Amino acid sequence: MKRLFGGIISKMKSNRAFTLIELLVVIAIIGILAAIIFLNVTGARSQAHDTAVKANLTNIETALNQFAGNHNESFGVSDDGGGGAILCPLPGDSSGTGVFYDPAIEDNIATTLTNSPGGTAWCFSANDAFALAVSRPAELNASKSYFWCVDSTGNKCGNNGDQGDPTFPPIIGGACVPCTVTD
């Protein structure tokens, strides 16, 4: 009897190692789970950046309206000379006139760009209208960009999809282009 159980026990002890197939299956399962978690974290990060950019645009809209209230209901003129949008000035740039050269607004735009890594900001103001658009390059697909825009009509929205050139300003005639994503 002792010999019978002893033989079974010794056989069990000698077969305790995992086979190569079993190890590969476990590694594959761990890889799949890691990929799923990575995609979820990346999506959450992108949504957090979008939320921050939209919140900053709301703050900038308030600051722009306060500027106009303090300057005879005028935003001043900030355009390319032909009524088109310009790249927004960076903090300390006093080479132009208009609402976007106000130091507080320049700082708000810089903060917005911090929340939009690799993005650009486009500004336009006429005496009675403004528009500001910020591009949000997509983290996973460089050919798709997201634009969030705010204008003097209170329009706050964005465009997403294949925009081609991520520096293209989605501002036409002092207003945001028709949007596909609303706030």
Provide the 10 A C-beta neighbour count for residue 62: 11
pTM value surpassing 0.85: no
Phi, psi angles (nearest 5°) of residue 18? -80, 150
Q: List the pLDDT tens digit at each of the 183 positions of the chain.
A: 555 555 555 555 556 788 899 999 999 999 999 988 887 776 777 777 778 888 888 888 888 888 888 888 888 888 888 878 888 888 888 787 788 888 888 888 888 888 777 788 888 888 888 888 888 776 544 455 678 888 888 877 777 654 445 446 677 777 777 766 555
Q: Tokens 């590694």 identify what position?
A: 27
Distance CA 168, CA 119 (A): 11
- Residue environment code for 78-110, b if the CB has 16+ CB neighbours within 10 A, otherwise e: bbeeeeebbebbeeeeeeeebbbbbeebbebbb
Residue 38 CB partners (closer than 8 Å, separation 6+) = none
3-state secondary structure of 154: coil
In DSSP terms, 125 is beta-bridged to 78, 130
pLDDT of residue 140: 46
Residue 143 makes CB contacts below 8 A (sequence gap 6+) with 162, 164
SS3 assignment, position 134:
strand
As a residue count, the chain comes to: 183
Q: Which amino acid is at 144?
A: K
